Structure 1
């Protein structure tokens, strides 16, 4: 194989699969439920804790590996208990799954030395150095570039591909996790970032010239991986190709046919599922459905309109994995709409050719809404985190097989959804009146810049280059302790506020003493800026465990915006006046 053209020549008629590929042929059989991935941080951010203790020297490699293994096992067991038939493995990562893929295929820059993505003693320093910088062999190294994963708030490490890159397989991580799950009595479907998405995400602007040169060698390594996974007992492998939901030229489309022809040959009896998500496939739909694989996953939340064309175009013996509930949104699904799409697919394809799943990996959701004890029950009932998404899938699967048995649960879910859409907490007439009264003139300043500048100069008298700290001062251990005591009810609000005011006075005095021109009050009253304002705004709620991974150990806890937003009272005025 000398390049993309060599792969393209292997494209032939997609093989027909004579046997059912995903389930029972019986019309009333329960469809199989799968997830494309599950949150890897743990319900209590156990991964964050383990990583930070390891990086600070308080947890050795063996301890980190043990805690990571416990997180994985708990995730598998949770999903199996919730009714998932195709439980994913290799969706866990100590830092980032794209970085894991780079290590798996040997795309490790020489300066980092050996790198391991699965916690072995050899290479863990190099792995974390690529992710966040660090010292390797006495040299301080910068991290690789990091950028956003498509249009999500997750960030991936951009692999560094050398011009003459030689790919070499290190299958330790996927094989280790497959074996771990097997030892726990759980059969899993390994998840791997597909070869073409991996290269395009790594090469980005360099892709047009380099893809054809690099892809053949990379596909050979993926073929070796499939052979190893099959030998280790895997029956399915999920290959994520999210770039199929982006604009692709004819050369890249042709590369899919050639590459997956090679992979299908290497897979042998192994069933391959190609997963797409975040958008519809549009012009790439035919490319995806013609791949010689057992199943293709479509995001029917972002693009429900692609279901009918897919049903028309899908070849015999292939299955569709339907992304029916939102893997990026926290509101309960419209299960009537979900069931309509599921039943339509089963009518057209048969019961044995349909899988049900979320739109994308559940990585982008918090773990479990049921633990949000500080939210009022009504609002909590509206939410669906990763655990609730799986419960929705299981309910829909059971409803297809046993409509009467699931009728009461469906009615309850319908009532919750209708309760939210009709709630007075969602729509505030006063906010609607104010927004309706907005005019184009409100979007423009009442005076030009030159006039505003003259007014500010006269009032403030600032130098040409004023000095300022811009924002907040550090949240010291004493301030954090004070806030914790206040939240536990150990001190009253007046005492808490008085102490914060005293410390704010100290911050302002310090800035005056060192001669800053523009002073700040330090923001000691705020734990997190977003959370602080959300707590003071109607229409917003703050969770206690609604954490989502942004990258590595970095997690964010976005507020839940459930209704029209307005200020109940001034938020910052009191602190500035003080």
Structure 2
């Protein structure tokens, strides 16, 4: 359709494109610019200049890799903090508790948007949770019956015009209206039963205004992302289909708009494909990696002069293995033979993968030949598009290279280890499970305790890590470069551990941690001590805001490094040293098998459950070594349990079975007297409450501060009866909670959890926080716990009689 009153040619959809690209920068330039601005070391103008330069550098790089400069193949999918936050700002959807930050026209400036993301002294930020089955975290919009919606197109328009000034015709990106409302939560003022999707009719005119503004700015295509349509929703199917139909027939009918490109990443749209394809949008993206090829009946929707372009998400945007180019080209040719107009794209945004594998010069060259990071994936998309248009002979060299990489990978040493596979195959059901919880509780209460005596009611602890100071990071860099000897580094770490232990004693915490100074990352540290893993030098991906992670590469069969199948202990030297310094119990700290998988790029040549069991057996060896060293509390973190949960309910039982079993395999070898903790964070826990219970940990700590203890309702309804530590300090925000705020959260927790099973802890580890805020927050946490104990009128002896789990450390 024409987008202006003067008839013009309809701009064609590009033959090759991506749905997004890494935005943090090859050397984390955006992270550094953001943190400099937040710390007051740079101005807002400097931040915006750095962001604009990074955006333009991305466009230049994508054109170098083969995408078109002026055909709308370049997505303007850039966010300073989060794409959902940017859509919230563009829609003027200011939550009521932040209304004072908006100007007279209801707009939020950059600093105000950062308050929504990070909070301020008087209020918590927006809740944050996982983006579908990925390790990215988005900010959850808060929508109520009276939430205002006002079009704020200035930033979107500025991006389009700046790109045009430099010779690029780009495609602006917004979260689509249905997904935006499905991803939102009801605000605090909403009546019971309110559903944000009820506001669809109110938000669509605002989307239409944004489209008109982008049309006037020269945008030829706009990308509307609808990933929520590939996941089962708590909305009746007919209502959801009607919402999709209403949203896109309305927007397609708008008089002034660019062409509409709708993406559906992370799975299959199922029955929603028909209302989407029939709505009048000009291009529709389907994920062919996580989703299925359209059926013959579904392909009928893409035939005809007015049919939408089928944008095939044929290259995996979520993992780093080279594509089977020949197999993918088979699929694309099949779609084209069926009569569809086909373009080639990534299955998801490429911001889930690092920039460029060519920069990983420290990786084994053979392993590197198996990999495709973002730049290589763009090359794969260009190759497939060319092969589809010009025939296989035109890309014969690239097809042969891809086939050879797959062949060498299949036969490489270490990909399959007979001893590891034999051990995993011999696991029996008896090895996956412990005595009943009440038996374990009695054993833990009856075991002699350390010189510090029994734990009080509402015992206080932290999740594991303490702040990683610049000195710690500098020492780690120096030992890598050879500027510091391993012996000197060992002494430094032991001194740092002692400093952290003494600080916790001074603060009055009841169960201590060693602080994890030796760990660069909670997954990478273990990857560096396990066979079957490799680590990268520049493989950073965004987790949230300015937070980046460097996922390891799980390429082969897994066991601990060292002589024999069991290998050598990884954590015992450090945790044992910490325990030797104090009479208080020190927790052993491990990362669980599911989280190691979720936060790595995992091999795709065997079922995940098989890989999880290999990791679990390596961790089981570590758990047993910790117990043998006298560590009586061992925490095995599974913050990613919800992350890998399939988006369709029919696929979830199988996942929950193997994921829970892998955790229990890792933790079930210890005596009843040893207490197993686990930790989960930033997920919709209600969706996996049965799995949380199934982990059968003696104590479970969970993120709860941002959601203000909402999760406890789900746990209470499920009859969860073991120890629980709902977080009372949101460590993902720099604000320091007051003692009164922590007391209020504890009060809410005690409405749902018996005092004898309640623990007091932060939401997550403290690695990213500074020591000043950490000390202040922990002072408030400890003081609030003591005040709550006094309010309960419970002594340590009384707690013992009431059945509070009393943890032992020695003897």
Find 2:543's aligned residue among 545, 550, 559. 550
Map of 1:397-546 to 2, 5 A cutoff? 397-400=385-388, 401-445=390-434, 450=439, 453-454=442-443, 457-461=446-450, 462-465=453-456, 471-504=464-497, 520-546=513-539
Q: Is contact 1:76–1:87 with CA below 8 Å preserved after alignment?
A: no
DSSP-derived class of the 1:388 partner = helix
Match of 2:293 in 1: 305
Q: Separation in 2 of the partners of 1:162 and 1:454?
A: 49
Q: Is contact 1:289–1:315 with CA below 8 Å preserved after alignment?
A: no
How far 1:151 moved relative to its partner? 2.1
Match of 1:324 in 2: 314
1:232 aligns with 2:217: yes
Q: Is contact 1:103–1:115 with CA below 8 Å preserved after alignment?
A: no
Find 1:103's aligned residue among 76, 83, 89. 89
Map of 1:51-450 to 2, 5 A cutoff? 51-85=34-68, 86-109=72-95, 111-114=98-101, 123-134=109-120, 140-203=122-185, 210=195, 213-247=198-232, 249-268=237-256, 270-306=258-294, 308-317=296-305, 318=307, 319-349=309-339, 353-400=341-388, 401-445=390-434, 450=439
Q: Is contact 2:93–2:149 with CA below 8 Å preserved after alignment?
A: yes
Report the number of matched residues.
544
Q: Separation in 1 of the partners of 2:54 and 2:455?
A: 55
Q: Is contact 2:33–2:47 with CA below 8 Å preserved after alignment?
A: yes
Q: Separation in 2 of the partners of 1:115 and 1:481?
A: 41
Using a 3 Å threshold, how does the CA distance of structure 1 residues 315 and 395 change in structure 2: closer, same or farther?
Answer: closer
| 1:354-398, Cα deviation, whole Å (9 max, x unpaired) | 110011111211222211122111112222121111111111122
After alignment, is 465-474 or 41-50 more displaced? 465-474
How far 1:301 moved relative to its partner? 0.7
Q: Separation in 1 of the partners of 2:470 and 2:278?
A: 59
Structure 2 stretches lacking a partner, 5+ long: 1-7, 562-567, 578-811
After alignment, is 311-320 or 226-235 more displaced? 311-320
RMSD over equivalenced CA pairs, Å: 2.9
Q: Is contact 2:351–2:542 with CA below 8 Å preserved after alignment?
A: yes
Q: Separation in 2 of the partners of 1:505 and 1:167?
A: 53
Q: Is contact 1:21–1:294 with CA below 8 Å preserved after alignment?
A: no
| 1:217-240, Cα deviation, whole Å (9 max, x unpaired) | 311121122222222212111111
DSSP-derived class of the 1:360 partner = coil
Q: Separation in 1 of the partners of 2:120 and 2:509?
A: 35
Using a 3 Å threshold, how does the CA distance of structure 1 residues 208 and 340 change in structure 2: closer, same or farther?
Answer: farther
Q: Separation in 1 of the partners of 2:196 and 2:507?
A: 56
Q: Is contact 1:154–1:549 with CA below 8 Å preserved after alignment?
A: yes
Using a 3 Å threshold, how does the CA distance of structure 1 residues 115 and 131 change in structure 2: closer, same or farther?
Answer: farther
How far 1:522 moved relative to its partner? 4.0
| 1:314-336, Cα deviation, whole Å (9 max, x unpaired) | 24122100000111111111111
After alignment, is 188-197 or 514-523 more displaced? 514-523
How far 1:209 moved relative to its partner? 5.6
After alignment, is 529-538 or 418-427 more displaced? 418-427
Using a 3 Å threshold, how does the CA distance of structure 1 residues 576 and 236 change in structure 2: closer, same or farther?
Answer: closer
After alignment, is 463-472 or 153-162 more displaced? 463-472
How far 1:503 moved relative to its partner? 4.4
Using a 3 Å threshold, how does the CA distance of structure 1 residues 231 and 376 change in structure 2: closer, same or farther?
Answer: same
How far 1:49 moved relative to its partner? 0.5
DSSP-derived class of the 1:32 partner = coil
Q: Separation in 1 of the partners of 2:86 and 2:257?
A: 26
How far 1:153 moved relative to its partner? 1.5
Q: Separation in 1 of the partners of 2:216 and 2:383?
A: 34
1:36 aligns with 2:36: no
DSSP-derived class of the 1:306 partner = coil
| 1:453-492, Cα deviation, whole Å (9 max, x unpaired) | 5477445455143776663444344333322221111122
DSSP-derived class of the 1:357 partner = strand
Map of 1:8-19 to 2, 5 A cutoff? none
DSSP-derived class of the 2:146 partner = coil
Structure 1 stretches lacking a partner, 5+ long: 1-17, 24-30
DSSP-derived class of the 1:297 partner = strand
Q: Is contact 1:76–1:186 with CA below 8 Å preserved after alignment?
A: yes
Using a 3 Å threshold, how does the CA distance of structure 1 residues 263 and 567 change in structure 2: closer, same or farther?
Answer: same
Higher relative contact order (CA 8 A, sep 6+): 1
Using a 3 Å threshold, how does the CA distance of structure 1 residues 519 and 193 change in structure 2: closer, same or farther?
Answer: closer
| 1:58-96, Cα deviation, whole Å (9 max, x unpaired) | 111100110010111111111122112443444101111
Using a 3 Å threshold, how does the CA distance of structure 1 residues 446 and 102 change in structure 2: closer, same or farther?
Answer: closer
Using a 3 Å threshold, how does the CA distance of structure 1 residues 72 and 395 change in structure 2: closer, same or farther?
Answer: same
